[in-house]
């Protein structure tokens, strides 16, 4: 998953709420690891095209609308990694997947485990397969 020009954060559970802890501030492109085998977690240590597995084409419906608040969907574009879960993207960030562009949304969760039936979106398959990353 290649990101260009957005800072990266990690979601941390703090009491009854979630907060974003900065991992990297970058104006350059970087790749987020999706297989959990990188020596530079959460960044990918492979070269382009950064693939760790063969991703299956989308075969399921898009997930229901997202209802989370961190990172702030009304703020500037931001990314945060949910522990053992998806990449949360907020703020109507531009997302391209192969040769298609996803319609802008205030918030979206992108698959990191590679098992989602609605790639590149998360359908919570990470919970079923026990993804850790």
DSSP E strands: which ranges in 1-133?
A: 2-4, 8-14, 17-24, 29-31, 78-81, 87-90, 95-97, 100-102, 107-110
**Whole-angstrom distance, CA of residue 65 vs CA of residue 80:** 18
Among 12-26, 30-44, 80-94, 116-130, the minimum mean pLDDT is found in: 12-26
Report how far apart the first and last C-alpha atoms of the chain are (Å, whole number): 14
Say what the alpha-carbon torsion angle 41, 51, 105, 78 is, to the nearest 10 degrees.
20
pLDDT digits (tens, 9 = 90+) for 63-74: 877 888 888 888
Average pLDDT for 26-35: 77
Report domain extents, the chain. 1-133
Rounded to two decimals, what is the model's pTM?
0.78
pLDDT at position 12 over 80:
yes
Mean pLDDT value across residues 22-48: 79
Inform me whether the pLDDT recorded for 125 exceeds 70: yes
Taking the CB of residue 63, how many other CB atoms lie within 10 A of it? Answer: 15
* pLDDT score recorded for residue 25: 61
């Amino acid at each position: 998953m290649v990101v260009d020009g957005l800072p990266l954060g990690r979601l941390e559970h703090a009491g009854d709420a979630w907060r974003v802890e900065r991992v990297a501030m970058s104006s350059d492109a970087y790749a987020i690891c999706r297989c959990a085998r990188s020596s530079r977690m959460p960044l990918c240590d492979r070269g382009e095209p950064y693939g760790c597995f063969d991703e299956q084409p989308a075969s399921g419906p898009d997930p229901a609308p997202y209802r989370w608040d961190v990172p702030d969907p009304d703020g500037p574009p931001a990314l945060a990694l949910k522990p053992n879960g998806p990449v949360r993207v907020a703020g109507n960030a531009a997302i391209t997947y192969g040769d298609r562009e996803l319609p802008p949304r205030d918030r979206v969760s992108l698959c990191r485990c590679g098992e989602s039936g609605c790639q590149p979106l998360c359908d919570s398959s990470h919970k079923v397969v026990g993804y850790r990353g």
